[in-house]
Amino acid sequence: MSVTHHPPAELVAGFAAGTLDAGEHLAMAVHVAGCPACRRLVRAVEGVGGSTLEAIEPVPMRAGAFESVMAKLDRSPSRSHALADSFTDDALPKILRHYRIGRRRWVAPGVSMRPIELPGASSSRAFLLRSDPGTHMLEHTHTGMELTCVLRGSFSHEGGRFGPGDFDFGDDTLDHQPTVGDGEPCVCLVAMTGDLRINGFFGRLIGPF
């Protein structure tokens, strides 16, 4: 798998530092697992952070801190057994086996999604998006950030072609109209904040709903 598109450096740094929210962390974890270049960058950032920590004067932990961490681990999501209704053959990344994944629902002709239950509070939401070959999405912008990891198939827009392993980052400055490649469905993991804003007459028509 040849990865061409990577996340911005600030997302890689946030992932290494553990400062991303749950949805952003999941999207980054899926990409980093399949991208040797980003794994090396994450290790480099972690190395810098480790050196910084070694130079800091240690302070005692507050009472009960260890027990609190262990309790959070005990409440982590159980393994999902809900993968067998629509994306069974899509070779989902191993990390997703630790998340509960909801049932498929159609969001547009040829396009369906499955929500991913995230642990704890998160400003972003995550889902699996499946689009039929040749699907043309409506031209749209975003009110927040959109992190997309391609798991299978491909799509293209003004930023280029995105295939398996590629990472697409969008924010409120981006205006695009993705088109799914021919030959096989495109399956992506998406984490996003805010909403989509569909451009043109159709967007104005359905916007209030």
For the stretch 67-98, pLDDT in tens is 665 665 555 444 443 433 344 445 688 888 88
Residue with the larger pLDDT of the pair 107 and 88:
107
- How many C-beta atoms surround the C-beta of residue 143 within 10 A? 13
For the stretch 108-153, pLDDT in tens is 888 899 999 998 788 899 999 999 999 887 666 767 888 999 999 9
Angle between helical axes of 22-34 and 9-17 (0-180°, round to 10): 110
3-state helix, strand, coil in the chain (%, to 5): 30, 25, 45
Residue with the larger pLDDT of the pair 149 and 159:
149
Is the pTM above the cut of 0.85? no
| Nearest Cα residue to 85 out of 104, 99, 100, 98 | 104
Q: What is the DSSP letter of 208?
A: T
Question: Are 121 and 182 in contact, with CB atoms under 8 Å apart?
Answer: no
What is the layout of strands, in order, in the sheet containing 125-131? 105-108, 111-116, 125-131, 186-192, 146-152, 167-170
Is 204's pLDDT higher than 80? no
Quickly list DSSP for 169-184.
EE-TT--B--EEPSSS
Is 203's pLDDT higher than 50? no
Q: At 154, is the secondary structure helix, strand, or coil?
A: coil
Q: What is the mean pLDDT of residues 155-178?
A: 86
d(CA 30, CA 90): 14
For the stretch 16-65, pLDDT in tens is 999 999 999 999 999 999 999 999 999 998 887 544 444 456 657 677 76
Residue 43 Cα distances to 1, 12, 32, 49, angstroms:
21, 10, 11, 10
Question: In DSSP terms, which residues pair with 128 in a beta bridge?
Answer: 114, 189
- In terms of Cβ atoms closer than 10 Å to its own Cβ (0-12, 13-18, 19+), residue 75 is exposed
Highest mean pLDDT among 82-86, 147-151, 172-176, 177-181: 147-151
Maximum CA extent, the chain: 61
